[in-house]
Amino acid sequence: MKFPLKSILSVLILGLLFTSACSNQIAGAPLLVNPPDEILVTATSLPDGIVTPEPTAFVEPTATPEVKLCRTSVVRAIPEYNNKNLVNAFQTVDPFVVLTIDDGYSNSVLNQMLDILEANDTKATFFLVGTSFGEKIQADTLKRLVENGNDIAYHSYAHPEVSFIEAMSLEDWLQDYRLWSDALRGVIGEQLFDEGVVPYARAPYGAWTSAFMTSLAEQDLTPFYWNADEHTFEANRMPLREGSILILHIIPENLDELEQLMTTDWDVLSLREALGEECD
């Protein structure tokens, strides 16, 4: 059977066109090389060039930070006042007494008292006389007193006689305190002064004149009396009780009283501790 030449040419042209179209489709298709058995689906798609950061390792703290707490009160104590409006004891149910020690004319005796306090882990408030600073009481002893946690309080610069005290004016007392504080700063330095000096005062010979009291008020100093002294362990004397403020002096005769106090069942505190001004 013969086919016209024109028909044969038409068939050949159609075949060529079909082959070309198929080739273009194959060339445009994506090429898969060793496709996985399973298709992995990711939650999110990241743009090309973005690298996922490695998670930061959590490190357990090696130590717990130290937190220091300040005690608002060492003991439960309310100041008691005598008929001259002076604090002379504390109202309390806690078994403590407050130890105050006055004057200061013997470096040797003061060091012995500090030995006793240290041995019993006890602190006291010392009402000291300014003319003794660096003279009768050496600088090393004063520094030891403060570094062991004891208090220094105002007890006049020169401990004048009562007749002289009665004639002193307000300005005299203000100047007296300036002399006292300057003398102490000059011996122990500003840092120990700030650390060890408390805003308490005691009149020499207990002579609480109007001028003296006014000077304390103007300088924010609190006056403190006492209700027991070095004779408290003798019969028919002022006995110690809860909250008593005991007064001793830096004299050899009071070393025995201090030792005896340490053997009692009382907790012995400084004024600063009794008033709740202590921090751990």
* Per-residue pLDDT reduced to its tens digit, 9-58: 454 444 444 444 444 443 343 333 333 343 333 333 334 444 444 544 44
pLDDT 10s digits, 119-139 = 999 999 999 999 999 999 999
Token code pair at residue 166: 């009665």
Q: Which residues of 49-77 are buried (b: 16+ CB within 10 A; e: fewer)?
A: eeeeeeeeeeeeeeeeeeeeeeeeebbeb
The whole-number pLDDT of residue 59 equals 45
* Residue 145 burial class via C-beta count within 10 angstroms: exposed 0-12, middle 13-18, buried 19 and up: buried
Ramachandran area for residue 117 (φ above 0: left; ψ -120 to 50: alpha; else beta): alpha
Nearest Cα neighbor of 150 from 113, 203, 97, 176 is 113
Q: Which residue has the tokens 């439960």?
A: 76
Pairing state between β 125-128 and 151-154: parallel
Q: 78-274 has which fold?
A: TIM Barrel (3.20.20)
pTM, two decimal places: 0.74
Split at pLDDT 50, 70, 90, the class of 177 is very high
Split at pLDDT 50, 70, 90, the class of 105 is very high
Split at pLDDT 50, 70, 90, the class of 75 is confident
